[in-house]
Amino acid sequence: MDAIDLPLPGLKLLRPRVIADAMGSVTEVWRDAGMPGIHFVQEEVCVSPTPGTVRGLRFQSPPEARHELVMALTGSMLAVAVDIRRGSPTFGRFHAVKIQGQGREMLFIPSGFAHGSCTLEPDTMVMNRFAGYGSAEHEHGIAWDDPVLGIPWPIPAGEAVLSAADRKHPRLAKIRTPFVFKG
């Protein structure tokens, strides 16, 4: 598995090894990829029938903060991570990457980042793997369309499909981030 460092410290694009033969293919979804000590304990699969479905920007606060691995199983999405670690040289900056089910790339998002996504195709199925269980009490978010962040979402704001909870998140300037950059 190749782990490619992205412009925000800690954020990585993972490219797993695919072994193909006459029967089809096998993809190794996780190997520590130079990140020992990360143990995934929960996995969810989200299916979004409508392109333009936006989830996030969400994060879990301590003690439920957790790392996340995001992969499109079918369809495609724009995955976005926003650095919310106080003292980080990239605080408030985002990185967006298109992830396709056929490409088998994954985005590793460490704790200290808010994460969101927007589906690009009908019936996009996304797998989220978590190093921690999280809880509703510790779930927080940032407005997906915060103009200060300037995320170039592939959908006009009026056409995005969002949950009621994701519509209510405050802007980045209004959150009190519990995360501190550790270099």
Number of domains in the chain: 1
For residues 104-127, one letter each, b for 16 or more C-beta atoms within 10 angstroms of the residue's C-beta and e for the rest, the string is bbbbbbbbbbbbbbbbbeeebbbb
Tell whether omega for the bond before 110 is within 30 degrees of 0, i.e. cis: no
Q: What is the distance between the alpha carbons of residues 175 and 161, in angstroms, rounded to a whole number?
A: 23
* Distance from the Cα of residue 99 to its chain's centroid: 10
Q: What single DSSP character describes residue 165? A: H
* pLDDT at 109 (0 to 100): 97
Task: Tell me the per-residue pLDDT of 108-160, one tens digit each, with 9 for 90 and over.
Answer: 999 999 999 999 999 999 999 999 999 999 999 999 999 999 999 999 999 99
Residue 69 domain-assigned?
yes
Residue 150 domain-assigned?
yes
* pLDDT at 47 (0 to 100): 96
Quote the pTM value. Answer: 0.92
CATH number of the domain where residue 132 is located: 2.60.120.10
Q: What is the distance between the alpha carbons of residues 63 and 60, in angstroms, rounded to a whole number?
A: 8
Task: Tell me the per-residue pLDDT of 156-181, one tens digit each, with 9 for 90 and over.
Answer: 999 999 999 999 999 999 999 999 99
* pLDDT at 120 (0 to 100): 97
The range of the structural domain enclosing residue 64 comes to 2-16+42-172
Task: Give mean pLDDT, residues 77-85.
Answer: 98
What's the mean pLDDT when you consider all of the chain?
92
Of 50-59, 62-71, 100-109, 157-166, least confident by mean pLDDT is 100-109
Give the residue among 97, 91, 128 at the shortest CA–CA distance from 9. Answer: 91
Confidence of residue 104 (pLDDT cuts 50, 70, 90): confident
Q: Is the pLDDT of residue 92 over 70?
A: yes
* DSSP bridge partners of 18: 27
Beta strands at 67-74 and 124-131: parallel, antiparallel or unpaired: antiparallel
Task: Give mean pLDDT, residues 1-11.
Answer: 91
Residue 101 domain-assigned?
yes
Residue 34 domain-assigned?
no
* pLDDT at 33 (0 to 100): 63
Residue 84 domain-assigned?
yes
Q: What is the distance between the alpha carbons of residues 56 and 81, in angstroms, rounded to a whole number?
A: 10
* pLDDT at 20 (0 to 100): 84
Residue 22 domain-assigned?
no
Residue 182 domain-assigned?
no
* pLDDT at 24 (0 to 100): 85
* pLDDT at 32 (0 to 100): 64
* DSSP bridge partners of 74: 125
The proportion of the chain whose per-residue pLDDT surpasses 90, expressed as a percent, equals 79
Residue 183 domain-assigned?
no
